[in-house]
Amino acid sequence: MSKQRGLWVAILLIFVLTMTTWHVWNTESKLDSVWKNWSPAGKSANFKILNRQKLLIKQGAKTILLIAATSDLHGTLTSTRLLPRTRPRGLLHLVQKVRQLRANNPEMILLDAGDTIQGDPSSFYFSHIFQEKLKPLPIIEVMNQLKYDAIALGNHDFEPPVSVLKQNIAQSNFSWLAANVRFKNAKQPLFPPYKIFIRNGVRVGVLGLITPGVPLWIDPEQRKGLIFDEMLETAKYWVKVLREEENIDFLIGLFHSGDNTRYDQYVASARDLPYPNAAGMIADYLPVFDLIISGHAHRISPKRRTNQLNGHQTPLISPGTAAEGLSTVLVNFEEQSGHWKITETVYDYLKAEVSPESQLLNKLEPRLQKVEKYLQEQTSVLFKRFPNKIELYACGAELSFAAVKNLVPEALSLLPWWWRFEKLPESDLGNLLRREHFFRWLPYDNRIVLVQMFGRQIEIMLESYRRQKFGWYARSSTILAPGGFTAEVDKSRKGSRLFLTGLDEHAFNKEKMYPVWLTNFHWNGGGGLGAKALLNSRQLVRKESVHLRELIFQHLRSPSVKLPEKCKLFLENSTRSASHNSEAGQ
Q: Are residues 331 and 402 in the same domain?
A: no
Please state which of the ranges 18-27, 192-201, 305-314, 506-515 shows the lowest mean pLDDT.
18-27
Q: What is the rounded average pLDDT for all residues in the chain? A: 91
Q: Are residues 359 and 392 in the same domain?
A: no
Section 367-379 average pLDDT? 97
In a domain, 586, yes or no: no
Q: Are residues 299 and 416 in the same domain?
A: no
Domain with residue 422: its CATH number is 3.90.780.10
Give pLDDT, residue 31.
54
Instruction: In whole angstroms, give the CA distance from residue 559 to residue 377.
Output: 14
Q: Are residues 338 and 400 in the same domain?
A: no
Give pLDDT, residue 576.
61
Give pLDDT, residue 266.
85
The conformational region for residue 430 under phi > 0 = left, psi -120 to 50 = alpha, else beta, is left
Instruction: In whole angstroms, give the CA distance from residue 52 to residue 247.
Output: 6
* Long-range contacts (CB closer than 8 Å, 24 or more residues apart) made by 187-195: 190/35, 190/38, 190/39, 190/40, 190/226, 191/40, 191/44, 191/153, 192/40, 192/44, 192/47, 193/47, 193/238, 194/238, 194/242, 195/149, 195/150
3-state SS string over 375-391? HCCEEEEEECCCCCHHH
In a domain, 84, yes or no: yes
Q: Are 556 and 402 in contact (CB under 8 A)?
A: no
Sequence-distant (6+) residues with CB within 8 A of 539 are 451, 452, 453
3-state SS string over 422-457? CCCCHHHCCCEEEHHHHHHHCCCCCEEEEEEEEHHH
CA distances from 438 to 392, 399, 548, 552 (A): 12, 12, 10, 8
Helix (H) or strand (E) holding 393: helix 389-405
In a domain, 21, yes or no: no
For 165-219, how does the pLDDT look when each residue is reduced to its tens digit (9 = 90+)? 999 999 999 999 999 999 988 889 999 999 999 999 999 999 999 999 999 999 9
Better-predicted residue by pLDDT, 117 or 261 = 117
DSSP for 274-339, please give it.
--S--HHHHHHH-TT-SEEEE-SS--EE--S-BS---SSSS-EEEE-STTSEEEEEEEEEEEETTE
Q: Are residues 147 and 237 in the same domain?
A: yes
For 376-416, how does the pLDDT look when each residue is reduced to its tens digit (9 = 90+)? 999 999 999 999 999 999 999 999 999 999 899 999 999 99
Q: Are residues 384 and 335 in the same domain?
A: no
Among 335, 367, 399, the domain boundary falls at: 367
Number of helices (H) and strands (E) in the chain: give both, helices first.
Answer: 17, 24
Residue 260 phi, psi (nearest 5): -95, 100
Q: Residue 196 CA to chain centroid, in angstroms?
A: 27
Among 367, 395, 427, the domain boundary falls at: 367
Q: Are residues 165 and 293 in the same domain?
A: yes
Residue 253 phi, psi (nearest 5): -95, 115
pLDDT range class, residue 584, cuts 50, 70, 90:
very low
Better-predicted residue by pLDDT, 297 or 7 = 297
Residues in the chain: 586
Among 350, 367, 384, the domain boundary falls at: 367
Q: Are residues 162 and 272 in the same domain?
A: yes
Q: Are residues 191 and 265 in the same domain?
A: yes
Give pLDDT, residue 332.
97
CA distances from 38 to 142, 166, 184, 225, 565 (A): 26, 9, 13, 12, 52
Q: Are residues 310 and 447 in the same domain?
A: no
95-104 and 138-146 helices, crossing angle to 10°: 20
In a domain, 456, yes or no: yes
Order of strands across the sheet with 480-483?
480-483, 412-416, 513-519, 447-454, 540-547
Q: Are 238 and 95 in contact (CB under 8 A)?
A: no
* Residue 160 pLDDT exceeds 70: yes
Q: Are residues 355 and 388 in the same domain?
A: no
Give pLDDT, residue 506.
84
In a domain, 15, yes or no: no
Domain with residue 168: its CATH number is 3.60.21.10
pLDDT range class, residue 236, cuts 50, 70, 90:
very high
Structurally, the chain folds into a number of domains equal to 2
DSSP for 519-576, please give it.
EHHHHHTGGGHHHHTT--GGGEEEEEEEEHHHHHHHHTTSTT----GGGTTTEEE-SS
In a domain, 157, yes or no: yes
How many Cβ atoms from other residues are within 10 Å of residue 233's Cβ? Answer: 11
Give pLDDT, residue 503.
75
In a domain, 582, yes or no: no
CA distances from 121 to 59, 75, 82, 84, 129 (A): 53, 8, 7, 12, 10
Q: Which domain holds residue 541?
A: 376-573
Section 453-471 average pLDDT? 92
Q: Are residues 331 and 383 in the same domain?
A: no
> Taking Cα atoms as reference points, which of 426, 410, 442, 447 lies closest to residue 523?
447
**pTM recorded for the entire structure:** 0.90
In a domain, 445, yes or no: yes
